[in-house]
Homo-oligomer: A and B are copies of this chain.
Amino acid sequence: MSFIEQIIELSQMQVNQISPKAIKLAQYSLLDWLICGFGGTNEPLANKLRIFAKNEAGAEVASIFGGFKAPARMAALVNGATSHALDYDDTHFGHIGHLSVAIYPAALAVGEECRKSAKEVVEAFVIGAEVAIRIGINLGSGHYNHGYHQTATSGAFGATVAAGRLYGLTKQQMRNAIGLCSTRASGLKSQFGTMGKPYNAGISAINGVECAQLAALDFISSNDGLMGPHGFCATHGFDLKSKLPALPNPSQMFLFEDNKYKLHACCHGLHAMIEALKSNDLTGLTLDEIGSVLIFTHSKWLLVCDKKEPQSGLETKFSYAWLAGMTLRADDTGNDKNYTDGLTRDPQLVQFSNKVRVVASHELTDMQVKVTVTLKNGKEIHVAHDLSIPVPLEILREKLQKKAFSVIGDKGKQLWNSLEEIEDLSAMDIGQIIVS
Q: Is A188 an interface residue (CB 8 A)?
A: yes
Cβ–Cβ < 8 Å partners of A124 in chain B: none
Stoichiometry, copies per complex: 2
Contact A57 B59 (CB under 8 A): yes
**A58 contacts partner chain B, Cβ-Cβ < 8 Å:** yes
Determine if A203 is an interface residue (Cβ-Cβ < 8 Å).
yes
Q: Which residues of B contact A146 (CB under 8 A)?
A: 230, 235
CB distance from A231 to the nearest CB of B (A): 5
B194 touches A222 (CB 8 A): yes
Neighbouring B residues of A230 by C-beta, 8 Å: 146-147, 188-190
Residues of chain B lying within 8 A (CB to CB) of residue A189: 230
1/0 contact trace for A189-226 toward B, CB 8 Å?
11101111001100100000000011001111110010
Q: A59-B55, A73-B56, A218-B48 are in contact. Are A183 and B188 (CB under 8 A)?
A: yes
A221 and B196 contacting across the interface, CB-CB below 8 Å: yes
Q: Are B191 and A222 in contact (CB under 8 A)?
A: yes
A397 at the B interface (CB under 8 A): no
A391 contacts chain B at the CB level, 8 A cutoff: no
Answer whether residue A148 sits at the interface, using C-beta atoms and an 8 A cutoff.
yes
* B203 & A179 in contact (Cβ 8 Å cutoff): no
The 5 A-B residue pairs with the shortest CB-CB distance in the complex, in nearest-first order:
A58-B58, A147-B230, A190-B230, A186-B186, A147-B235
Binding site for B on A (CB under 8 A): 45, 48-49, 51-52, 55-59, 71-73, 146-149, 152, 179-180, 182-191, 193-196, 199-200, 203, 213-214, 217-222, 225, 228-232, 234-235
